[in-house]
Structure 1
Amino acid sequence: MHTDSPPALFATANGLRLAYDCFGDTAAQPLLLIMGLGTQMIAWDEAFCESLAARGYRVIRFDNRDIGLSTRLDAAGIPDVAKLLGQALVGLPVDASQVPYTLADMADDAIGLLDALGIDSAHIVGASMGGAIAQEIALRHPKRIRTLVSIMATSGAHGLPPPKPEALQVLLTPAPTDRAGYIARQQQVMKVLRAGAYPDEEALDAARATRTYERGLNPAGYARQLAAIIASGSRRERLASVQAPTLVIHGDADPLVPIECGQDVARHVPGARMVTIKDMGHALPRVTWTPIIDAIARHAA
């Protein structure tokens, strides 16, 4: 694992300033990585990005709005996540006007970044919330996406298995904002999300959390992103219109987005293929990189 990132670059996209960086040959086929809820682009580890670039791709990762070094939408205030979640859990539609933005807006951010980089279409790979954003890109901007890879993501449909209680608690408990508290908490969070014993990963968790802390926390942005997920509702019916060749990757031990959620996406996207990673939880430990990078590279080819 690298302890330092290349300095971030910045692009104006969809009216926002997004932090990004690139790996590999600028003439290679572009491949855009989209990260999950409240998670900075550095969670796509440099070595992961470099391995993917070595397979012949120009790999681009970026901070979503409201996270890391990208624009923070503080003027939008903090939505009532508990109320929104309560509505969603009983199957009530959530009025998107109750939230500052939705996943559709975040999909448009990603397309704005491609515009800024002069890229007409790209392979799109998203993890967790990033997978849901990638699905939205395929639905909203079909001409801009060459292939879709949805990793540990859901269709958002009501009635799918919920997160395990310990994973839901992790999702809904605000992280401490002091350095030591944040780092200790992230070590616990990753243990829950990985859903297994990964001593090699656990040895890196404090350093990873420190990097995240030093780039800057945005608890209000986390709440707004979570509200965006809830208010975006189900994509299940719309997935039938996805034209991009689609690969779904999911771990069979995922405590936050159970594997049935990934199976639901694969079932509803025409011609989608599914790769199940044994013992993988809701994280990308290094032991999963080779099968995941192989699957992405083969799919994009």
Structure 2
Amino acid sequence: MPRARSNGIELEYDTFGDPADPTLVLVMGLRAQMTSWDPRLCDLLAAEGFHVVRFDNRDCGLSTQFDHLPAPDPVAIAAGDRATVPYLLADLALDLVGLLDHLGVERAHLVGASMGGMIVQQCAIDHPERVLSLCSIMSTTGDREVGQATPEARARLAQPPPTSREEAVEAAVATWKVVGSPGGEADEEQVRARAAAAYDRAFRPAGGLRQYAAIVASPDRTPGLRGLRLPALVVHGMADTLVAPSGGRATAAAIPDAELLLVDGMGHDLPPAIWPTLVRGIRRNADRAA
């Protein structure tokens, strides 16, 4: 796959569709590689007239890792001590801008899921001239009063990282059972297969802790979201246990004229059953940019 020099690092990416079409960049969440964007969903978006780009965030997949940095101290960070914070969401947003520069794209439609939603929000705040439209999925604003996980989901997120392929697969299944869409998968074997493929492609759990530190240490985006003037779609599952629907509601309330799409039965994932609704929403929101 191609690699882009961006913001002093390298990002692994790939594309779908016609490069002559408007660019739509997909940004994934915490610890999630770009392959978490199902190729079938990417093809559906490309069929709607987008040149679709997906990529590995820094510290994930095959993009640049930051293993040379000391491990973040989550307890200290939560208490306000930022000494061990390796980077912020603003840096990941700047990575995204660098990817656009590499592609020769002046402005793009941005779609982000979970932490990816936070990144595209930050990108629109910091670099509004580069963003045509914004879609934030199963994400939140950074306001600690909204979007909080249930105790069970928080406990899953806090588990020690796996140390083997077998442990990684079992951990993915256990997490899916807590945060996934009820009835959203045909069977558990699909989750196992995806987890095994992700492990084989790149297994770098230390990067996830650094990404989490960036989330915790970054400021509330609510004031910046209030200043946005662009088409925005906010999608959230009503069954999301990892980022409560209040996070999506707060995001939509902060962005002027944003559309809020609440999906019954959707958890903290993107099951195929919601793809038609999601693709229609993204297309409709992008059309507003015209």
**If the TM-score is normalised by the length of the shorter chain, which range does it land in?**
over 0.9
Q: 1:289 aligns with which of 272, 275, 278?
A: 275
Instruction: Measure how far apart 1:199 and its partner are.
Output: 4.4
* 2:116 counterpart residue number: 130
Root mean square deviation, CA, Å: 1.2
| Matches for 1:258-277 after TM superposition, within 5 Å | 258-277=244-263
Q: What secondary structure, in the 3-state scheme, does the structure 2 residue paired with 1:203 have?
A: helix
Residue 109 (structure 1) aligns with: 95
Quick check: 1:195–1:255 contact (8 Å CA) kept in 2?
no
Q: Is the 8 A contact 1:96 1:232 kept in 2?
A: no
CA positional deviation for 1:203:
2.9
Which residue among 34, 47, 53 is the counterpart of 2:46?
53
C-alpha distance in structure 1 between counterparts of 2:273 and 2:234, whole Å: 18
Instruction: Find the residue that maps to 2:129 and give its secondary structure.
Output: helix
Provide runs of 4+ in structure 1 moved above 2 Å: 82-85, 94-98
| CA distance 1:17–1:273, change in 2 (3 Å) | same
Q: Does 2:141 correspond to 1:155?
A: yes
Take 1:201 and 1:183, find their aligned partners in 2: how far apart are those partners?
A: 14
Which blocks of at least 5 consecutive residues in structure 2 are unaligned?
Answer: none
Look up the match of 1:43: 36
Contact 1:191 1:202 in 2 (8 A): no
Residues 23 and 53 in structure 1, CA contact (< 8 A), matched pair in contact too: yes
> Which residue does the alignment assign to 1:34?
27
1:118/1:189 CA distance change after superposition, 3 Å: same
Map 1:134-283 to 2 at 5 A: 134-160=120-146, 162-200=148-186, 202-283=188-269
What corresponds to 2:55 in structure 1?
62
Mark the CA change 1:120 to 1:159 in structure 2 (over 3 Å): closer, same or farther. same
Distance 1:99 1:201 in 2: 39
CA deviation after TM superposition for structure 1 residue 190, in Å: 1.3
**Matched position secondary structure for 2:222:** coil
Cα contact 2:184–2:272 (8 A) shared by 1: no
The number of residues matched between the two structures is 287
Q: What is residue 15 of structure 1 aligned with on the other side?
A: 8
CA shift digits 1:132-189 (9 cap, x unpaired) = 0000010000000000000011001122252111111121112312011111111111
Q: CA deviation at 1:83?
A: 3.0
Contact 1:135 1:148 in 2 (8 A): yes
CA deviations on 1:58-103 (whole Å, 9 max, x unpaired) are: 0000000000000001111210123323x2xxxxxx3545401000
Report the residue type matching 1:245 in the other structure. Answer: P
Report what 1:90 is aligned to: none
**TM-score normalised by length of structure 1:** 0.92
- Tell me if structure 2 keeps the 8 A contact 1:51–1:293: yes
- Verify the 8 A CA contact 1:36 1:127 in the aligned structure 2: yes
Asked whether the equivalents of residues 108 and 132 of structure 2 are also in contact (C-alpha less than 8 Å), the reply is yes
